[in-house]
Amino acid sequence: MERIVTIPDGRIEGLPAADPRITSFKGIPFAAPPVGQNRWRAPQPVQRWEGTLKAYQFAPISKQTPPGKFKDIYAMEWSVDPSIPNSEDSLYLNIWTPNLDESANLPVFVWFFGGGLQVGSPAEMEFDGERLSRRGVVVVTASYRLNVFGFLAHPQLALEQPEAPTNFGHLDQRQAILWVRDNIRSFGGNPKCITIGGQSAGGGSVMSQLTSPMNKGLFQRAIVDSGVFHSVYEGHPTIMSGDYEEAMKRGEELFAALGVKTLEEARQLDADVILDKVNEMHTFWGTNFDGVFQIRDAADSFMMGDRLEIPVLMGNTHDEFHITVPADKFPGGREGLAAAKKACAPANTEILFSGKEPDVEGADINSIEFACRLMAESNACREDSAPLFYYDFNLDIPGWDHPGNFHSSDLWFWFETLQKCWRPFVGRHYDAARIMCDYWANFIKNGDPNGIDSGGIVSDGKGTISDYAGTQFAAEGPALPQWDAYTKEAPYGLRIDSDSIGMFRKEMNPVMKALVNHMRKCSADKFS
């Protein structure tokens, strides 16, 4: 079977995946190398190549601190290879497809990895696209510039290129989507049925793409996995402020520390020299509200309805990023918190967004759960808004470290790549992963996660099951547990527990409700 496609930039040869019915292509350039004079510029067009590109292995990961340097749970899970090639020349993507026929018209999923916009790569083993592709989806994972290379802000950049003064990493992501739109038909994909998705900072990137004024009509649905961030109370800091003027001041400080005065000089420095200085200064480089790509905080834009009106699937893991809201920051102060605590009695409500039992000194909540509920409530209260599907991942994660549902632990399940993980998963974990991957595949195809439990069978993406020779069989199987969209009348979501998967049908607990309602009012007042 020939696994060669031709696009305007040249011929590309892929390889069979572990399942030979799937073809994988790794290391396809979607933009010119962002080096030399292209450093800190919007992504530039790919130069056509001669001959056939052997798309057999992942490209180098974006310039970053080597994986595994920080001995945390993520180094134990997937940042396991400190020797992986690491380069500024990293704007490449990878594709898994079940069908190379240009008429196949299969739905497409474009995935952006997480890592705080500082680290991470599509080469991480949990992002293998084969299992999703077996369900009739063309899967694309893309790289993008990180840290100072992706998000530097500086007054000279604003003067030199006002149309793209910063947010180069997000512009890389956008360029990857544009490349997919223009080329994916050659890989069996439908350029008019694109879902973008991401987790953590990748999910935050999806929020940025959803709310950017540059992206009208560019994609048709979005998945935001643990990637919604918003202040929980007035004065609560988020991961990054996005203040553009402040970021430009940091840029000037960096140039001074590097001993350069101009962009030209800075573009001539070795990338490792720049990264070492950034690490020495302990500066963070992330999304900037530049008024071009990003107008304001993406979560605020989403709440206002200033976004692409397309179906969204979002949620969180149950144990991630808990914070304590001080009593004096709670709506109504100590008395308001005490009243909310009293109303949390089990006889009155099921505590869906549960943390520690709140006391009069403060309330412990999951901050990403809060942000997701804030988005869901705002979406539900707007007329004619596109559907939003919410989930809460609360499946037990096994292992000697008893980690709980830590941030990113659901990735093995959504991609159905548990077999690549060292943890001692058992049958119910594999069942949950199959179902979760089914939900994603259905949403990518239809904008609705509901459908048939695949049982892991290969699908051609057209509602039928195909064997390798192409003989058609009826798609039969039990329906997945029903997952309704979150509405004002039915503010439900999907609960993924250790013993069951299904919708929860109770209101959020009074502590979370008071915080969500208060922040919605604050945001409305801020932008009215």
Q: Is 72 inside a domain boundary?
A: yes
Determine the angle formed by the axes of helices 510-527 and 367-380, rounding to 10 degrees: 60
For residue 473, the model assigns a pLDDT of 33
For residue 51, the model assigns a pLDDT of 96
For residue 355, the model assigns a pLDDT of 41
For residue 365, list its beta bridge partners.
323
Q: Is 93 inside a domain boundary?
A: yes
Q: Is 350 inside a domain boundary?
A: no
Distance separating alpha carbons of residues 233 and 399, to the nearest angstrom: 35
Which helix or strand (DSSP H or E) is residue 223 part of? strand 221-225
Q: Render pLDDT for 111-148 as a digit per residue (tens, 0 to 9).
A: 999 999 999 999 999 999 999 999 999 999 999 999 99
The parent domain of residue 82 ranges over: 4-224+239-319+364-451+482-506
Q: Render pLDDT for 353-391 as a digit per residue (tens, 0 to 9).
A: 344 444 556 788 899 999 999 999 999 999 889 999 999
Low-confidence ranges of the chain (pLDDT < 50): 347-358, 456-474
For residue 476, the model assigns a pLDDT of 58
Q: Is 488 inside a domain boundary?
A: yes
For residue 461, the model assigns a pLDDT of 41
Distance separating alpha carbons of residues 502 and 48, to the nearest angstrom: 49
Q: Are 394 and 414 in contact (CB under 8 A)?
A: no
We report the CATH number of the domain holding residue 444 as 3.40.50.1820
Strands (E), 432-513: 464-466, 472-474, 493-497, 501-504
- 527 phi and psi angles, rounded to 5 deg: -110, 10
Could you give the C-alpha distances from 89 to 271, 277, 323, 361, 440, in angstroms and in order?
Answer: 11, 20, 38, 51, 31
Q: Is 90 inside a domain boundary?
A: yes
For residue 241, the model assigns a pLDDT of 66
Sequence-separated (6 or more) residues with CB below 8 Å from residue 179: 30, 31, 93
Strands (E), 98-161: 106-112, 138-142
DSSP code of 493?
A: E
Q: Are 420 and 412 in contact (CB under 8 A)?
A: yes
Looking at the structure of the chain, the number of domains it has is 1
SS3 state of residue 187 = helix
For residue 499, the model assigns a pLDDT of 82
Q: Is 359 inside a domain boundary?
A: no
Q: Is 32 inside a domain boundary?
A: yes
For residue 336, the model assigns a pLDDT of 84
